[in-house]
Amino acid sequence: MDYKDLANLIFPEAKDISYYEEKYPERNLKEGAIVTRIAPSPTGFIHIGGLYQGLIAKKIAKQTEGVFFIRIEDTDQKRLIENGITEIIESMDKFGMNPDEGMINETESKGLYGPYRQSLRKEIYQAYAKYLIEQGKAYPCFCTPEELDSIRQKQEQAKIRPGYYGVWAKCRNLTVEEMTEKIKAGENYIIRFKSLGREDRKIKHHDLIKGNVDFPENDQDIVIIKGDGLPTYHFAHVVDDHLMRTTHVIRGDEWLSSVPLHLQLFHEMGFKPPKYAHIAPIMKNDNGNKRKLSKRKDPEAAVSYYVEMGIPKEAVTEYLLNIANSNFENWRRANKDASIDDFKLEISKMSVSGALFDMVKLLDVGKTVISKFTAEEVYERALEWAKEYDKDLAKILEKDKEYAIKVFGIERGNKKPRKDIAKWSDVRENISYMYDEMFDSQKQNYDYQVINDKEEINKILNLYINEYYDENDDKQTWFDKIKELSGRLGYAKEVKEFKENPDKYKAHVGDVSTVLRVALTARTNTPDMYEIMQILGKDRIKARFEKAIGI
């Protein structure tokens, strides 16, 4: 009996690894091309950090004409949820992060390096586990959960490092005969890696983000194949990223401390290890305390939040790049209209300790992004969002597309476009005064500010609509008429005049304009009033004024 017999007894069906090595050859890419991936678990919750990693990975691959793929890590069968894969793929898609290879829905994939779903790769892991057993580098462990518990307790009592290693690794010293006997007797087992590492020796690792780090070698005989025949994360990572020919593993820094183990596994399997970049988590300022964005406490930790709020994908990706590389902001300032594809992301410039996420800044980016859209784009995107999250608004928008586009066109397409929409959920509030059904169904609060005598207000409104307003006036004439009306009623025609001689006037033209604006929209702040009036038309302006007078 030797290791080969043992390996055959455990995995009689497993193929020789040369089969897979040939099936998944080195990729034929240009020099320097980076192959990278994200490897999410379909647990139903997609964290913004996952999207962040995806963005970084995809961008780095694209910049080097490499490959970005998605691998689904579903080996923890207990945590799976229905449609979990589709949700991941759709979320990534919504933010423009569709992969070159990988799963495209629950069951199908594209690309030659699949399957891209770990639960479908069982035979591959077993072939590689068999390969390790054949060389005496892995072995079956028959310890029961109770035995493992008792080992842990003893270690705790003796205040020594927990784990299955050295003298504690009982099964590593069984002879092949003993192992064979136990297997034949039907005992349950898992497969462990036999570590030759020593805790008192150090390994050096150069991480692309964290820089140079030293770690003790790994001496734990970690589990590589679980009782259900599926691999652990560590083993799957090594097998998959080898066979999928990943050049760069970009992942969360909770895995940094596993690097010694992973490098050791790559080495013992005879594979070239990838480069590693460990991304620090996105942080949040919580009353002066910097902490990780938490799935439990922060709604904005979920990617679904951004979708529901209707924060445009362009804003989310742009903002994430902003926190990935702090020089992005300067680049954006110098390249206002450039596509983010033109920004060169540098992994080495990413924050070691974790960048702060700032919702206010994100919404600011949203405003700028939307301000650059055409009215048609705003219409299409707002409608797309509303169909899902505000059906009533969708109906209103669909009823008269041409009118809606006019509304969205107010102060748009010029040098200083309006910047008042940060997300699609702002649209309703933003355009409601341009729709009688919305305007009339809400209780309006008319705050005329400086001029607040009811009779005076009524006089201004009546005179304006009956004697001054003409739909055919150009903007200059329109404004001159407001000045004329102001002068006629004892208000300064210019703000400057008023400031020089405040006692001479009741107030100034700006205050008169405010009266018109408030009567028209019930707001003190709106985009260009000339354009608003043009779109509403004389009859509706009149109706608005009558409504205001009647209150």
Residue 251 lies near ligand GLU (rule: CB under 6 A): yes
Residue 237 lies near ligand GLU (rule: CB under 6 A): yes
SS3 37: strand
Q: How far is CA 41 from CA 202, 256, 438, 450, in A?
A: 32, 18, 44, 60
User: For residues 209 and 348, what is the distance between their CA atoms, to the nearest angstrom?
Assistant: 5
User: For residues 112 and 123, what is the distance between their CA atoms, to the nearest angstrom?
Assistant: 17
**Exposure of 220 by Cβ count < 10 A (0-12 exposed, 13-18 middle, 19+ buried)?**
buried
Which range in 39-47, 84-92, 185-193, 205-213 contacts ligand GLU by CB under 6 A?
39-47
Buried b (16+ CB within 10 A) or exposed e, 19-35: ebeeebeeeeeeeeebb
Q: Closer to ligand GLU by CB, 255 or 403: give it.
A: 255
Contact between 31 and 289 under an 8 Å Cβ cutoff? The reply is no
Q: Closer to ligand GLU by CB, 111 or 252: give it.
A: 252
Q: Closer to ligand GLU by CB, 36 or 425: give it.
A: 36
Which range in 101-109, 167-175, 251-259, 500-508 contacts ligand GLU by CB under 6 A?
251-259
**Total residues in contact with ligand GLU, by rule CB under 6 A:** 9
Contact between 324 and 52 under an 8 Å Cβ cutoff? The reply is yes
First and final CA of the chain: distance in angstroms? 99
User: For residues 288 and 274, what is the distance between their CA atoms, to the nearest angstrom?
Assistant: 38
Residue 55 lies near ligand GLU (rule: CB under 6 A): no
User: In whole angstroms, how close is the CB of 321 to ligand GLU at the nearest point?
Assistant: 20
User: In whole angstroms, how close is the CB of 40 to ligand GLU at the nearest point?
Assistant: 5
**DSSP string of 17-33, one letter each residue:** HHHHHHHSPPP---TT-
User: In whole angstroms, how close is the CB of 192 to ligand GLU at the nearest point?
Assistant: 21
Q: Closer to ligand GLU by CB, 166 or 252: give it.
A: 252
User: In whole angstroms, how close is the CB of 237 to ligand GLU at the nearest point?
Assistant: 5
Q: Closer to ligand GLU by CB, 73 or 426: give it.
A: 73
User: In whole angstroms, how close is the CB of 401 to ligand GLU at the nearest point?
Assistant: 43
Q: How far is CA 542 from CA 244, 438, 474, 507, in A?
A: 69, 17, 19, 24
Angle among Cα 99, 103, 107 to the nearest 5 degrees reads 160
Q: Closer to ligand GLU by CB, 3 or 215: give it.
A: 215
Residue 41 lies near ligand GLU (rule: CB under 6 A): yes
Which range in 173-181, 244-252, 460-468, 530-538 contacts ligand GLU by CB under 6 A?
244-252
Which range in 9-17, 33-41, 343-351, 408-416 contacts ligand GLU by CB under 6 A?
33-41
Q: Closer to ligand GLU by CB, 279 or 522: give it.
A: 279
User: In whole angstroms, how close is the CB of 23 to ligand GLU at the nearest point?
Assistant: 22
Which residue's C-beta sits nearest to ligand GLU? Answer: 251
Interacting residue with ligand GLU among 36, 73, 104, 378 (CB under 6 A): 73
Q: Closer to ligand GLU by CB, 70 or 369: give it.
A: 70
Contact between 278 and 209 under an 8 Å Cβ cutoff? The reply is yes
Interacting residue with ligand GLU among 7, 17, 40, 280 (CB under 6 A): 40
User: In whole angstroms, how close is the CB of 68 to ligand GLU at the nearest point?
Assistant: 13
Q: Closer to ligand GLU by CB, 70 or 465: give it.
A: 70
User: For residues 213 and 35, what is the distance between their CA atoms, to the nearest angstrom?
Assistant: 24
Q: Closer to ligand GLU by CB, 39 or 485: give it.
A: 39
Q: How far is CA 463 from CA 17, 490, 493, 522, in A?
A: 90, 14, 16, 19
**What tokens does 228 get?**
């259900």
User: For residues 490 and 485, what is the distance between their CA atoms, to the nearest angstrom?
Assistant: 9
| 168: DSSP letter | G
Which range in 148-156, 175-183, 245-253, 426-434 contacts ligand GLU by CB under 6 A?
245-253
Residue 252 lies near ligand GLU (rule: CB under 6 A): yes
Interacting residue with ligand GLU among 17, 39, 104, 208 (CB under 6 A): 39
Which range in 36-44, 91-99, 270-278, 320-328 contacts ligand GLU by CB under 6 A?
36-44
Contact between 38 and 150 under an 8 Å Cβ cutoff? The reply is no
**What tokens does 401 get?**
């597309």
Which range in 37-45, 305-313, 425-433, 444-452 contacts ligand GLU by CB under 6 A?
37-45
Contacts of 374 (CB under 8 A, 6+ apart): 412, 413
In this structure, which amino acid lies at residue 505? Y
The footprint of ligand GLU (CB under 6 A) covers 39-41, 73, 237, 249, 251-252, 255
